[in-house]
Amino acid sequence: MAVHIYTSKEVAKIMEAGMIAFETHMRLREYIRPGVSTAELDEIAREFIYSRRAIPAFLGLYNFPASICTCVNDAVVHGLPNRKTILRPGDIISIDLGVGYNGYYADTAWTWPVGEVSAEARKLITVTQQCLFKGIAEARVENRIGAIGEAVQKHAEANGFSVVRQLVGHGIGRSIHEEPQVPNYGRRKDGIKIRAGMVLAIEPMVNAGTHDVYTDSDQWTVRTKDGKWSAHFEHTVAITSQGPVICTLPKGANVNVFQLMGLEVAGVNQ
């Protein structure tokens, strides 16, 4: 399948979807605390997205029965929200969500601490978010797709973590999953050339232990094989000749994402 090249008008529409997706994360952030179930978070997200006259893109995608993916601690991606999973102090939760708006899509994931978390968990969250921004910085027309994965993998491994191999980022735009695949590992010389007009969902999944994963008996939730924790961040990124533009953060705003999350970056090998 060919890689779509989007016009600036189309990118503007993807950004509209991206802003609703960002606002959904910010709404969910208010509810991420001990005692809330992942099913409740799913309902809050669904109602919010519909209130903006948008569509929760994951609902029904490959028959997924919820609007967001919720992954607690050792869960990596595709976590199925449910009433039994109730957040406890010290947990971490990643929330991945897609939004469709006027025929265009955006996809974004954040990982949050629940109350006070361990130093190791804070480091995992911080490094994973840094991996995402290091990957985004390589999403430029002079590079190949492999430059993104190389940057992500180097930073994760320099900090003693591993990157998941079985799941990758992807193109996005008129549908939620498009070509090309965007691995979080590899070498700069790998993959196709990055071109202006590509829109990529870049989404490092970083594990504290082994990169190996398996699928839970719920048929959806992907977990680490060794039970160690995992974090996941994702932005939808439009490639322009001037560089990457993040469609799932407020445009031009100086968003200090680490401050927003109450995270310090001390003790991280940058």
Binding footprint of Mg ion on the chain (CB under 5 A): 107, 201, 203
**By C-beta, is 48 or 105 nearer to Mg ion?**
105
Provide the minimum distance between the beta carbon of 222 and Mg ion in the complex, in angstroms, as a whole number.
Answer: 13
Task: Give the C-alpha separation, 10 to 187, whole Å.
Answer: 30
Provide the minimum distance between the beta carbon of 98 and Mg ion in the complex, in angstroms, as a whole number.
Answer: 7
Asked whether the beta carbons of 88 and 114 are under 8 A apart, the reply is yes
**By C-beta, is 107 or 138 nearer to Mg ion?**
107
3-state SS, residue 232? strand
3-state SS, residue 25? helix
**By C-beta, is 123 or 191 nearer to Mg ion?**
191
Provide the minimum distance between the beta carbon of 245 and Mg ion in the complex, in angstroms, as a whole number.
Answer: 17
User: CB burial class (10 A; 0-12, 13-18, 19+) of residue 2?
Assistant: exposed
Q: Indicate left, alpha or beta for 53 from its phi (over 0: left) and psi (-120 to 50: alpha).
A: left
Which residue, among 108, 94, 80, 92, has the nearest Cα to 21 in the 3D structure?
A: 108
Provide the minimum distance between the beta carbon of 201 and Mg ion in the complex, in angstroms, as a whole number.
Answer: 4
**By C-beta, is 90 or 165 nearer to Mg ion?**
165
3-state SS, residue 171? strand
**By C-beta, is 94 or 143 nearer to Mg ion?**
94
Provide the minimum distance between the beta carbon of 203 and Mg ion in the complex, in angstroms, as a whole number.
Answer: 5
